[in-house]
Amino acid sequence: MKALSVMKKTKEVLTAWLNVVNKGEIENILALYNENAVLIPTFSNRVLDSRAKIRSYFEQLRTRDRLSVDLHEKFVNVQKITETIYALSGIYCWRFAVDGELLSFEARFSFVLDLSLTSPIIHHHSSQIPRML
């Protein structure tokens, strides 16, 4: 029963992240990231290792017209690292308009969560899925 509750909590963090990103709620996005979190973002070539850098990234991303991110739920994996630390990985799809045209960007993601923390995201990596040969 305990494992089911932990699995539910990891998915709740992911769902909360999706919801606040889709709403463009910068403060609520930042509240999910630990103060020492590292973000390797989808649409930047930089490693963001401070709250100020993470804030700036999401503020810039929020300016995209019709921004949304949707989860491909069947591709979500949860791995237990310790009693409180879990890795989530999977695929999501970013969408936003460029010159009036809605574009989609499939991306792989991984989150490392410490469920003992109020702000549980300690690491987040996201990269666009390359086109197949």
CA 122, 128, 133 angle in degrees (round to 5)? 145
Calpha distance 58→43 (Å, rounded): 10
**Phi then psi dihedrals of residue 15, to 5 deg:** -65, -40
Provide the whole-model pTM.
0.92
Calpha distance 122→129 (Å, rounded): 23
Asked if the model's pLDDT at residue 130 lies above 90, the reply is: no
- Nearest-CA neighbor of 86 among 55, 110, 64, 58? 110
pLDDT digits (tens, 9 = 90+) for 58-111: 999 999 999 999 999 888 999 999 999 999 999 999 999 999 999 999 999 999
Report the amino acid identity of residue 82: T
Task: Give me the domains of the chain, ranges plus CATH numbers.
Answer: 2-127 (3.10.450.50)
3's tokens:
């494992």
- Cβ distance 48 to 132 under 8 Å? no
